[in-house]
A and B are shown apart, each in its own frame.
Chain A
Amino acid sequence: MRLLSYMGQWKSAAKEVLDRTAIVAKFLCLLHVTNNYLCSPTLVYGPSMLPTLNLTGDVVLAEHVSHKIGKVGTGDVVLVRSPVDPRRILTKRVVGMEGDTVSFYVDPMYSQTTVVPKGHVWIQGDNTYASSDSRHFGPVPYGLIQGKVFFRDYVFVVSEFFIRM
């Protein structure tokens, strides 16, 4: 008799556990989908985008919809997967789209002009003195763009829970 009552308790407890787990799982899925396909807070650091972005780190909101519908253009700050190291994501500004003519300084005395080939973009950091970008590794394919930065988050504390690289 006792055994039956224990089983009853276990059953209801197990059901509750499963329900709670299902809610957490659904929330995590929603978070995952939002982070990957809609909008995500990202921590960016490094000197290459001074003075726009901080050296020691800024949390920015990047949205992942524009580059899929082709709405990335000149002047946008984008997150780009590095063509040199596939595990790194860079934050740079798009200076030229395909077909544009781009001039850049190889060294302070000598400037060079190139036309951006089809399907590629030319990216440069705002801080040209300390940025490794298209001036070094050439135009990058548009398909490497991961998202467009549209907002800098000053509320660091809240975003700390959602930080992803």
Chain B
Amino acid sequence: MKILRIGSNRCKTQNKAYGPSMIPTFNLTGDMFLAERLSIKFGKVGPGDIVLLRSPESPRKVMVKRLLGLESHSVTYVVDPMNSDRCDTIVVPKGHVWVEGDNIYNSRDSRQFGPVPYSLLEGKVFCKIWPPKEFGSLMKSGMKDPDL
């Protein structure tokens, strides 16, 4: 029993995501997905991956966002898409990552609380399991157009 518990904690976890910040990738009302933890420990995450991370503002909350930049990457983002088209560029500091929700109009992410330390990442999402008609692996296809 303990071996099973350790296996599942080390390897992957099953989670439910809800909220509007990752539309259209994840639904508002909740999708279930599988996330694995080994990639984070070995540093095998890159821009375009969907990651689970502990919120820097509320330590009990785990959020699902898309990783857009690793340390020393230069990230361009739209500061306030509801009101203006102004873009800003930032270089991600050492030891940190930049995360954004796919639905930038309604997402609280690095544009509000800044780059987050890499250690707050908890898992990488690799497969969606519910609803069944959207079952399948989550590739990097949902990435924003870099020309924007």
Residues of A at the B interface (CB closer than 8 Å) are 25-26, 29-30, 32-33, 81-86, 117-120, 140-144
Contacts and interface: CB of A to CB of B under 8 A. Distances in A.
Contacts of A117: 57
B56 interface: yes
Nearest to B53: A143
Contacts of B94: 84-85
Contact of B95 (A26, A82, A120, A143): A82
Interface residues of B, number: 18
Contacts of B48: none
A82 B140 CA distance: 29
User: Which one of B55, B117, B120 has the highest number of Cβ atoms from chain A below 10 Å of its Cβ?
Assistant: B117
A85 B94 CA distance: 7
B57 A119 contact: yes
A143 B6 CA distance: 21
B58 A119 contact: yes
A83 B59 contact: no
Contacts of B118: 86
B136 to A, nearest CB: 30
The 6 closest A-B pairs by CB, nearest first: A143-B54, A29-B2, A83-B117, A141-B56, A142-B59, A119-B57
Interface of B: 2-3, 5-6, 54-59, 94-96, 116-120
A143 B3 contact: no
B49 to A, nearest CB: 16
A23 to B, nearest CB: 13
B82 to A, nearest CB: 23
User: Which one of A25, A30, A82, A84 has the highest number of Cβ atoms from chain B below 10 Å of its Cβ?
Assistant: A84
A118 B117 contact: no
A29 B3 contact: yes
A88 B118 CA distance: 12
Contacts of B6: 29, 32-33
Contacts of B58: 118-119
A29 B5 CA distance: 9
Contacts of B96: 83
14 contacts: A32-B6, A33-B2, A81-B117, A81-B119, A82-B119, A83-B96, A83-B117, A86-B117, A118-B57, A119-B55, A119-B56, A120-B56, A141-B54, A143-B56
Given A81-B119, A141-B120, 10 more contacts: A32-B6, A33-B2, A33-B5, A81-B117, A82-B95, A86-B95, A119-B57, A119-B59, A141-B116, A142-B59
Nearest to A146: B119
User: Which one of A81, A84, A86, A117 has the highest number of Cβ atoms from chain B below 10 Å of its Cβ?
Assistant: A86
A86 B3 contact: no
Contacts of A142: 59
Nearest to A138: B114
A141 B2 contact: no
